């Protein structure tokens, strides 16, 4: 095949960059830091959206849409939020272009300068809480459970397709509650939704935990997250859910009257996942031959390739294929029949391997005689010859098996790459030689966390929920600690 990839062994980073482009998921655009999500990549994102959107709606949320632009002054209203978000962003200063007087093209019309600059949303807490102010007067208006699917922009100097781009697509939930407890429950519920999605759909095991204060969302009281481990031993934060306390309600003066008629500030959460998940998906399962997609998120789950000589045989094969295809589709399996005569079977095999199609069915002259097909599964690359009869049930079962197998494989990989370190030497040694999650004692101080980050580039990914309590000593300061936390280098 003409699409040789770097191997993961040779250069994991190159392998990823090449794979995303060669498998037609995305590519760099003419605008620095912004990507084009190609149809095949976008079809996976659509599958993700559908599954998540259903889960959001099943948990009582509704969608809405808020403006792309945020007035600059809004960012200054929540003190820590401005530090986190208002710095590296796209700033709209003018609203008109004009023809240059020297005929050299078009230029900004300086007379069309905005009184107040508009920021392209890097996240929408400020514009949304400014809006909620008009929507919430009484406890009857609560809870407000709203989600938005949108594009956001954070100006990035070093970008990588899906993992870190200036513009990206995401969903952001923004909820409002009458009590602190209800808001915390919501924050945790949405973390559950995310971890269920990661594990059941993406087939990626995740650690659920809370961030250290250093790593919290700007404006949050508590940030919950799910952390996944990639094949190269680097961690990837796959979703966050924030308990915002009354910070944004206070910044935007959003109060409600309780049943008893008392005025109080509203309690808030926000939570989001983004096209970054596409990067996690690619890096978790794929191999040196290309993408490996979990069946639940594959744009098509089965591809059928005819191997034929002449039009007559193709017609005979097609008759059989179309019957099988129909039977599979009736079971909700998505099937593509690639009978193009412009490409040879070998080319097609390599192409669908590269694109991670879960199951490939090949059918040739001998299969016609024997009533068989050749079934190849993408995850293990195993092939077997199966009878055509009842193929839809066999494939359905195989897809379920593959979905489960991918999760088990990823789980085994994570377990292999999860270590305990009891000394700083050990810790550094692991990070250098066998990177992965390192469970280690930490004294709980921001200073220690910062020093470790500076010296090793490893960060505290999270403090796991329901973490085992055990007495120990901080690997860095030697001070007493009550639990191990999860360290790793991260994307």
| Pairwise CA distance, residues 131 & 66, whole Å | 9
| Pairwise CA distance, residues 469 & 63, whole Å | 40
* CB closer to a second copy, 59 vs 429: 59
User: Three-state DSSP class for 167?
Assistant: strand
- Work out which of 5, 20, 52, 127 binds a second copy, going by CB under 8 A: 127
**Shortest approach of a second copy to residue 2 CB, angstroms?**
14
| Pairwise CA distance, residues 82 & 482, whole Å | 34
**Shortest approach of a second copy to residue 19 CB, angstroms?**
18
- Work out which of 150, 184, 363, 440 binds a second copy, going by CB under 8 A: 150
Instruction: Reply yes or no: is the peptide bond before residue 143 cis, omega within 30 of 0.
Output: yes
Under 8 Å CB-to-CB from 84, ≥6 apart: which residues? 217, 218, 219
Sign of dihedral through CA atoms 314, 320, 323, 328? negative
Under 8 Å CB-to-CB from 429, ≥6 apart: which residues? none
The backbone torsions φ and ψ at residue 434, rounded to the nearest 5 degrees and listed phi first, read: -135, 70
According to DSSP, the residues that pair with 484 across neighbouring strands are 441
* CB closer to a second copy, 120 vs 335: 120
79 contacts a second copy (rule: CB under 8 A): no
According to DSSP, the residues that pair with 294 across neighbouring strands are none
Which H/E stretch holds residue 249? helix 247-251
DSSP assignment, residue 485?
Answer: E
- Work out which of 151, 179, 334, 429 binds a second copy, going by CB under 8 A: 151
Size of the site for a second copy (CB under 8 A): 63
**Shortest approach of a second copy to residue 78 CB, angstroms?**
12
Give the position of tokens 């990661």: 198
Identify residues 87-126 at the interface with a second copy (CB under 8 A).
87-98, 105-106, 108, 117-120
Binding mask 449-488 for a second copy (x = CB under 8 A): ----------------------------------------
446 contacts a second copy (rule: CB under 8 A): no
**Shortest approach of a second copy to residue 140 CB, angstroms?**
6
- Work out which of 7, 11, 76, 258 binds a second copy, going by CB under 8 A: 76
- Work out which of 7, 11, 54, 64 binds a second copy, going by CB under 8 A: 64
Interacting span for a second copy (CB under 8 A) from 75-83, 190-198, 384-392, 393-401:
75-83
Binding mask 294-323 for a second copy (x = CB under 8 A): ------------------------------
- Work out which of 12, 17, 51, 69 binds a second copy, going by CB under 8 A: 69
Residue 418 vs residues 413, 430, 431, 436: alpha-carbon distances, Å: 9, 10, 11, 6
Identify residues 24-43 at the interface with a second copy (CB under 8 A).
27, 29-31, 34-39, 42-43
Identify residues 338-377 at the interface with a second copy (CB under 8 A).
342
Give the position of tokens 């005929």: 103
User: Three-state DSSP class for 84?
Assistant: helix
Interacting span for a second copy (CB under 8 A) from 151-159, 397-405, 415-423, 433-441:
151-159
324 contacts a second copy (rule: CB under 8 A): no
* CB closer to a second copy, 173 vs 233: 173
Structure tokens at 181: 């407890």
**Shortest approach of a second copy to residue 112 CB, angstroms?**
8
| Pairwise CA distance, residues 461 & 260, whole Å | 42
| Pairwise CA distance, residues 279 & 284, whole Å | 9
| Pairwise CA distance, residues 253 & 464, whole Å | 34
**Shortest approach of a second copy to residue 107 CB, angstroms?**
8
| Pairwise CA distance, residues 341 & 305, whole Å | 11
423 contacts a second copy (rule: CB under 8 A): no
**Shortest approach of a second copy to residue 235 CB, angstroms?**
27
Interacting span for a second copy (CB under 8 A) from 64-72, 300-308, 367-375, 452-460:
64-72
**Shortest approach of a second copy to residue 382 CB, angstroms?**
30
382 contacts a second copy (rule: CB under 8 A): no
Choose among 150, 145, 181, 154: nearest CA to 58.
Answer: 145
- Work out which of 78, 125, 167, 222 binds a second copy, going by CB under 8 A: 167
**Shortest approach of a second copy to residue 52 CB, angstroms?**
14
**Shortest approach of a second copy to residue 196 CB, angstroms?**
23
HSE (side-chain half, CA atoms, 13 Å) at 206: 33
Residue 84 vs residues 76, 155, 201, 217: alpha-carbon distances, Å: 11, 12, 31, 8
Angle between helices 39-58 and 180-196 (to 10 degrees): 140
* CB closer to a second copy, 28 vs 200: 28
- Work out which of 75, 197, 217, 352 binds a second copy, going by CB under 8 A: 75
Under 8 Å CB-to-CB from 454, ≥6 apart: which residues? none
Residues that bind a second copy (CB under 8 A): 27, 29-31, 34-39, 42-43, 45-46, 62-76, 82, 86-98, 105-106, 108, 117-120, 127, 130-131, 134, 140, 146, 150-151, 153, 155, 167, 169, 342
């Amino acid at each position: 095949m003409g699409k040789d990839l770097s191997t993961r062994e040779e250069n994991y980073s190159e392998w990823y960059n090449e794979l995303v482009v060669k498998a037609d998921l995305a590519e760099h655009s003419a605008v620095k830091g912004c990507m084009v999500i190609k149809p095949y990549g976008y079809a996976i994102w659509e599958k993700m959206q559908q599954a998540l959107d259903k889960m959001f709606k099943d948990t009582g949320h509704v969608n809405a849409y808020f403006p792309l632009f945020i007035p600059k002054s809004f960012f200054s209203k929540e003190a820590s939020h401005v530090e986190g978000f208002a710095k590296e962003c796209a700033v709209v200063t003018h609203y008109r272009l004009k023809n240059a007087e020297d005929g050299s093209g078009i230029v900004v019309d300086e007379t069309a300068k905005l009184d107040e600059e508009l920021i392209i949303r890097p996240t929408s807490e400020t514009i949304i809480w400014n809006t909620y102010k008009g929507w919430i007067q009484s406890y009857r208006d609560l809870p407000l459970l709203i989600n938005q699917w949108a594009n956001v922009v954070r100006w990035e100097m070093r970008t990588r397709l899906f993992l870190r781009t200036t513009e990206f697509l995401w969903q952001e939930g923004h909820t409002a509650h009458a009590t602190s407890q209800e808001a915390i429950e919501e924050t945790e519920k949405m973390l559950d939704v995310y971890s269920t999605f990661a594990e059941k759909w993406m087939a990626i095991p995740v650690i659920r935990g809370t961030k250290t204060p250093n790593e919290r969302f700007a404006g949050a009281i508590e940030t919950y997250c799910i952390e996944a481990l990639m094949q190269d031993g680097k961690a990837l934060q796959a979703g966050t859910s924030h308990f915002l306390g009354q910070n944004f309600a206070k910044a935007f003066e959003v109060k409600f009257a309780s049943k008893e008629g008392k005025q109080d500030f509203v309690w808030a959460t926000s939570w989001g996942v983004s096209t970054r998940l596409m990067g996690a998906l690619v890096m978790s399962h794929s191999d040196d031959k290309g993408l490996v997609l979990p069946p639940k998120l594959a744009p098509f789950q089965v591809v059928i390739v005819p191997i034929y000589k002449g039009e007559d045989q193709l017609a005979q094969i097609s008759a059989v294929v179309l019957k099988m295809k129909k039977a599979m589709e009736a079971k909700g399996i998505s099937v593509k029949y690639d009978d193009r005569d412009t490409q040879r079977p070998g080319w097609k095999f390599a192409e669908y391997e590269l694109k991670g199609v879960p199951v490939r069915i090949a059918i040739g002259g001998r299969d016609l005689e024997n009533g068989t097909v050749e079934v190849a599964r993408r995850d293990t690359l195993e092939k077997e010859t199966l009878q055509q009869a009842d193929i839809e049930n066999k494939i359905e079962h195989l897809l379920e098996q593959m979905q489960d197998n991918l999760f088990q494989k990823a789980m085994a990989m994570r377990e292999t790459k999860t270590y305990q370190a009891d000394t700083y030497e050990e810790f550094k040694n692991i990070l250098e030689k066998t990177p992965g999650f390192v469970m280690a004692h930490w004294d709980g101080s921001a200073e220690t966390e910062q020093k470790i980050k500076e010296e090793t580039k490893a960060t505290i990914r999270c403090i796991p929920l329901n973490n085992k309590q055990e007495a120990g000593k901080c690997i860095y300061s030697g001070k007493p600690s009550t639990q191990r936390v999860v360290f790793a280098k991260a994307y």
